[in-house]
């Protein structure tokens, strides 16, 4: 599954992008077009949103 890809719409550019086939809801991926972080918000149908900006208290 990990080697397979699926197609999704980049929420920033509107273009079709290839993402790993084993993504799950909540996962963060990098847009191959803009490099921006995108969050997977739905799997069926696949939907991406721009991931939230880094906040001060994020981390380990």
Partner 1 sequence: MNVGVLYSRIRRDEKLLLSELRDRGHEVTKIDVRKERFGVHEPPQAFDGVDIVVDRCLATSRSRYVTRFVDAYDLPVVNDPETAAICADKARNSLVLAEAGIPTPATEVTFTKESAMESIEEFGYPCVLKPVIGSWGRLMAKIDSRDAAEAILEHKETLGHYEHKVFYIQEFVEKPGRDIRVVATDGEPVAAMARSSDHWLTNAARGAETEAIEITDEMADLVERASEAVGGGLLGVDLMETGDSYTVHEVNHTVEFKALNEVSDVDVPATVVDWLESRVRGVEVTA
Which of residues 33 and 43 has its CB atom nearest to partner 1 in the complex? 43
Instruction: Measure the CA–CA gap between 21 and 5, rounded to whole angstroms.
Output: 4
Is 4 a residue that touches partner 1 (CB under 8 A)? no
Contact map string, positions 9 to 38, toward partner 1, x by CB under 8 A: ---------------xxxxx----------
Is 59 exposed, middle or buried, given 0-12, 13-18 or 19+ CB atoms closer than 10 A? exposed
Is 45 a residue that touches partner 1 (CB under 8 A)? no
Is 43 a residue that touches partner 1 (CB under 8 A)? no
């Amino acid at each position: 599954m990990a080697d397979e890809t699926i197609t999704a719409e980049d929420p920033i550019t509107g273009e079709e992008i290839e993402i790993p086939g084993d993504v799950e809801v909540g996962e963060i991926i990098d847009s191959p077009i803009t490099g921006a972080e995108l969050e997977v918000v739905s799997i069926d149908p696949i939907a991406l949103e721009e991931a939230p900006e880094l906040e001060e208290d994020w981390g380990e």
